[in-house]
Structure 1
Amino acid sequence: MTKEQIADQFKALQDTITQTIESTDGNARFKEDIWQREGGGGGRSRVIAKAQIIEKGGVNFSAVHGSLPDKIKTKLKVKSDEFFATGVSLIMHPENPHVPIVHMNIRYFELKDGTYWFGGGIDLTPIYIDKKEAADFHQALKLVCDKYHPEFYQKFKTWADDYFYLSHRDETRGIGGIFFDHLNESEGLTKDELFSFVIEIGQLFAPLYAAIMKKKANSPYSEQEKDWQLHRRGRYVEFNLLQDKGTRFGIDTNGRAESILVSMPPEVKWTYQYEIKANSPEANTISQLKKGTNWLQYL
């Protein structure tokens, strides 16, 4: 499996995802920007806005190459100067507070000396936690993980709990999912098998999230529930700007800022000492944003 073949399949995955979101949402269409990176390579950024279900969403594909900045070489503990990186990343911010925010990305990184690895993840950020929905989401991820390695799900689920964690708030971003990085043949799988795992995680997104969209899009909601959604989006922004490694990597490699920051929600609120009433649905959400929850128990 060459880097060009991997990039081609990632690009095809972007097509599948955007087509599924469009058909599920209704009559809205993604706007596409094709861009070139000054240092080498480029990509396609696709954004949907003010649709029937998705208030703002982005599905990006990139395949970039060039010289690795010294600070990235030091951070990654590598010596090779030339790199190639390709991937698909997405974010969906729904209009309805009962439809969860979702994030997914899969990526491949290769150095001129032959060093390579895969990374990625998918996680769900509900504004109001639906335990059955969370269980179904985790079960779907586990089924894919179990096909490739008996330890993948629990290992990557724990990794997601730790990664998608706002340490300054002492809460997880949502109900998690899986997260993995630096996957290579040290996992006991061949490169082709690892790619098969990664692309299958990517292919899982569209049917999984489309089902949630269809189920929850017409749920009635109040002004209070919308207000709570806007405040929870604030936590999403905090994580992406303060802690997300992908955002930092994109900026440090002179990536396209518009594409990197497409993950930002269209509208958000921060209220000083925002009051959450005891025993409210909002308090119930906060109480469940903890590491280590076994969501599968709610199947």
Structure 2
Amino acid sequence: MPSGDRRDAVRAMVRAGQRELVAELERLDGGARFGRSDGARLLENGAVFERACVVAADRGETLGLTVVLHPRNPYVPAFHARFRYCEYAGSWWFGGAVDLMPCYGFAEDAAHFHRTLKNYCDTLDPAFHAQAKRTCDDLFRLPHHDEPRGIGGIAFDHLRPPGPDGWRRAAAFTAAGIATLVPAYLPIVRRRKDRPHGDRERQWQLHRRGRYVEFALIHDATAADAEAVLMALPPLARWETGCTPEPGSAEAELAAFLVPRDWAAETTVAAS
């Protein structure tokens, strides 16, 4: 397939994915609507999402889709995903990353999220998920705090399957990844969005958002578009030194919950 046709196909994939995600998120939020700015769609002050950003990027050699969701309820985890296509000097490849950032740990949610991503990865290669999960665990860490940003997910880059149908397979896999975002995340949102909470949970959420901001501004080497990065930041966050949760509290339990594990292999997960 000629280069121009490949780019047109990816561009159509990204725009379709953006339209479908925007429609699903607006339907779930129930009131707020996404505004439009070039390739970016931004929702703010919704009933479910304080800020939701869905960006379709078309910059030179790179096309991609980035999704960052900051929910209102502290019991709903924040969410990040990005898929991209690069074509340069006659070479091409696909990449992607999807991860979940909870403030409170629910095994049921973690297992659902990772199993959904594993099922997606298995459509390409049964061995793919384990490597993509390890890459994600290594990538989304806060080195200054020596802690994970969230509970991980998957990450891959330079995906270029061999053979004459390699581009088609990689493009189909990427399109399937974009389509997987809704079933991976939205059931968790529906499960947690109406859970009662107070100022304690809100302050903890703002503290965890501070960790996200730190990673996005200091450690994320893949962030090339400053405007898109700033648009995807949470509307409110906080920083404090020596923040130590009360021993035995749900906030204190998060540290152990974030330690990477094979959530997709969990066989018994109690509803919580």
Question: Which whole-Å CA distance do the structure 2 matches of 1:188 and 1:9 have between them?
Answer: 21
Pairing 1:104–2:73 present: no
Question: Which whole-Å CA distance do the structure 2 matches of 1:246 and 1:209 have between them?
Answer: 23
Q: Give 1:1-299 correspondences, 5 Å limit.
A: 2-34=6-38, 44-65=39-60, 84-111=61-88, 113-186=89-162, 190-247=166-223, 250=224, 255=225, 257-291=226-260, 293-296=261-264, 297=266, 298-299=268-269
Question: Which whole-Å CA distance do the structure 2 matches of 1:215 and 1:143 have between them?
Answer: 21
TM-score, structure 2 as length reference: 0.93
- Post-superposition Cα deviations, 1:72-129, rounded to whole Å, max 9, x if no partner, equal xxxxxxxxxxxx1100001000010001000011000001x21111111110001101
Residues 122 and 187 (structure 1 numbering): CA distance in 2 closer, same or farther, change over 3 Å? farther
Instruction: Give percent identity, aligned residues only.
Output: 35
- Post-superposition Cα deviations, 1:215-267, rounded to whole Å, max 9, x if no partner, equal 211100121111000000011011111111221xx1xxxx4x32232221100
Give 2:29's aligned amino acid.
Answer: D
Deviation at 1:22, TM superposition (A): 0.2
- Structure 1 residue runs without a partner (length 5+): 35-43, 66-83
Give 1:205's aligned amino acid.
Answer: L
Deviation at 1:187, TM superposition (A): 9.4
- Post-superposition Cα deviations, 1:162-214, rounded to whole Å, max 9, x if no partner, equal 00111111111111100001111359971111111111111111233222222
How many residue pairs get aligned? The number is 263
Residues 220 and 189 (structure 1 numbering): CA distance in 2 closer, same or farther, change over 3 Å? farther
Contact conserved, 1:108 with 1:116, CA < 8 A, in 2?
yes
Question: Which whole-Å CA distance do the structure 2 matches of 1:210 and 1:203 have between them?
Answer: 12
Give 1:108's aligned amino acid.
Answer: Y
Give 1:131's aligned amino acid.
Answer: A
Deviation at 1:64, TM superposition (A): 1.6
- Structure 2 residue runs without a partner (length 5+): none
How big is the alpha-carbon RMSD for the aligned residues of Structure 1 and Structure 2? 1.5
- Report the equivalent of 1:68: none
TM-score, structure 1 as length reference: 0.85
Give 1:261's aligned amino acid.
Answer: L
Secondary structure of residue in 1 paired with 2:202: helix
